[in-house]
Amino acid sequence: MTDTPKNPFEIMLAQAHDMAKAFNPALENFSPSEAFKGFEAMWPKMPKEVMELMFGNTLNKDGLDAKTRLLLTLAGLTCQGAQADTAVRQTVRHALEAGARKQEIVETIGQMSVFAGIPAMTRALNLAQEVMGDKGEDDQ
């Protein structure tokens, strides 16, 4: 058996890999998803007051508050399979800023296991833990 690529996509991928390695040997082990996480940390969190104004019940007194809206967004992202890593992590960051407790975030994601399945729930929980582990709080 040979390691030679067999279909056009594999050939193109191998050529792109070789070209990147020729331009910069450090690119051989480059991971875009890991590099992007560094950029996420530079994005500022929106202050709670701004979130309430834009997404909360400041303009709609009987509407949902920002925390509830962000928990609903997190539920929706989980139901989509938690495929948008950045969106899940940023939503968790903003939910914490809007006053959500870690327990509420975990319960929101856990509730979605019924609708999205265990793999989606597990993925979303792992992404959320990356954010919540950074806060260093013992919030339950």
Give the whole-angstrom CA distance, residue 35 versus residue 48. Answer: 28
Q: Is a pLDDT exceeding 50 seen at residue 82? A: yes
Backbone CA torsion sign across 73, 109, 116, 122: positive
Domain ranges of the chain: 1-30, 32-135
- Cα–Cα distances in angstroms (integers) from residue 22 to residues 1, 3, 25, in the given order: 27, 20, 6
CATH code: domain 32-135 is 1.20.1290.10
The pTM is what? 0.63
Instruction: Quote the pLDDT of residue 36.
Output: 61
Task: Summarize pLDDT for 27-42 with one digit per residue, the tens.
Answer: 666 666 565 666 666 6
